[in-house]
Structure 1
Amino acid sequence: MKKQKNQSITMHKLKNMLWDLTDGKDWEDKYYPDNLAKSIVISSNDLLKEFQWVDNVDSWEKINNEKGKQKIAYEMIHVIYYTMMLAEIMKIDIVTYLQMRLREKYSLV
């Protein structure tokens, strides 16, 4: 498995993009912690459905197929979006907590 190249967008810019989307759609009133947590689980389930009934080899074939890869990527984006919005309303700095968790659990960072 190859490591991806470093992406050029910053976490700050990504958060701003997500807030702009949320503001533009007037979704703020629906973004309570419980709703976002439920949305993370529902979107994770949609992601898992993409791999339902396939074995390990077929799952690799699915992600190497451009159409399959795109479907999976879109489901992943929903999970990431809801996770980032939950972190924002809870005032959780994802990068800081990720580093803390990696340090505590795996002695990394």
Structure 2
Amino acid sequence: MSELQELMNQINEFTRERDWDQFHSPENLAKSIAIEAGELLECYQWSSEAKPKAVEEELADVLNYCLQMAAKLGLDPVEIVRKKMQKNAEKYPVDKSKGRSTKYDQL
């Protein structure tokens, strides 16, 4: 079993023990991801220097909810990221995008 699968099992057990799955609809998980991403962004609200511990904790919350949403939707996180990376590689070919932050439709 991969470390990712072990982590997802641990998250599932934590949720099951507390009977929280009833609250974890895809809609609620998407809202939670956005809320936690906002809290991560808040770490940088007034400065480009953030407290590393605060960033770590907020990033963990974002990842936790993302993994829960993937599980809820029956998606393999590794597979969906790999598919998206392939799509991004096609949209952003190295020869056109290297060193540039230009959006793909402007390359």
Q: What is the TM-score with the length of structure 2 in the denominator?
A: 0.78
Alignment of 1:1-109 (within 5 A): 10-55=3-48, 59=49, 62=50, 68-106=51-89
Aligned AA for 1:98? Answer: V
* Runs of 4+ with >2 A deviation: none
Partner of 2:94: none
Query: What is the number of residues matched between the two proteins?
Result: 90
Highest CA radius of gyration, 1 or 2? Answer: 2
2:14 alignment partner, SS class:
helix
> Structure 1 unaligned runs (5+)?
1-8, 63-67
Partners of 2:3 and 2:21 lie apart in 1 by: 23
Higher relative contact order (CA 8 A, sep 6+): 1
Distance across 2 between alignment mates of 1:45 and 1:29:
24
Q: Output the aligned Cα RMSD.
A: 1.6
Give, in whole Å, the separation in 2 of the partners of 1:41 and 1:49.
12
Q: Percent identity?
A: 26
Aligned partners of 1:78, 1:71: CA distance in 2, in Å? 11
Q: Structure 2 counterpart of 1:13, which letter?
A: E
